[in-house]
Amino acid sequence: MFEQLVIAAKEAYNKAYAPYSNFHVGAAALTTEGQIVNGCNVENASYGLTVCAERNCIAQGVIQGQRKFTELVVYTEEDVLTPPCGACRQVIVEFMAQNAKVYAVNHAGEVKLWSVAELLPDAFTPENLQK
Ligand SMILES: O=c1ccn([C@H]2C[C@H](O)[C@@H](CO)O2)c(=O)[nH]1
Ligand SMILES: [Zn+2]
């Protein structure tokens, strides 16, 4: 399953729209129903409107009716593995359990693995909104 996620993340990577940073990213996630969804980063001439691959991937899952993901792969062709940015970590926490897995993978086949809890300890979650 991990290898299929890497393939899906690479497919998304090849669609990245990143003319400003030239930093292409693809992501793929596995839903609890066994479906794979993917997404790439989409930049904008108004730079701050850029959306990362991870958030577009999760949004794609939500569009497909999927709100729970067990694994997410972030793929780049950089020598240094790419971790999710802070904004994406917050969005990941919304849709992935604390023990769910997030992998960074590169073209050399190097892999780094984190749990969601490691990426964003003591996260603000929907539970914090309960009065
Ligand atoms: O984990 C990451 C880190 C960065 N980016 C994108 C945002 C922007 O388009 C480019 C450079 O920051 O890479 C992602 O998609 N995911
Ligand atoms: Zn991000």
**13-32 per-position pLDDT tens digit:** 999 999 999 999 999 999 99
Q: Whole domain around residue 15: which residue ranges?
A: 2-129
Q: Answer whether 0.95 is exceeded by the pTM.
A: yes
Q: Which helix (H) or strand (E) holds 118?
A: helix 116-119
CA distance 120 to 7: 26
CA 91–ligand 2 middle distance (angstroms): 9
Q: What is the CATH number of the domain that holds 90?
A: 3.40.140.10
Which of 49, 50, 119 best tests ligand 1's pocket when mutated (most atoms within 8 Å of CB)? 50
Which protein residue's CA is at the shortest distance from atom 1 of ligand 1? Answer: 84
Please say if 78 is a catalytic residue: no
Ligand nearest to the CA of 82: 1
Which ipTM did the prediction report?
Answer: 0.99
Total domains, the chain: 1
Q: Amino acid letter at 12? A: A
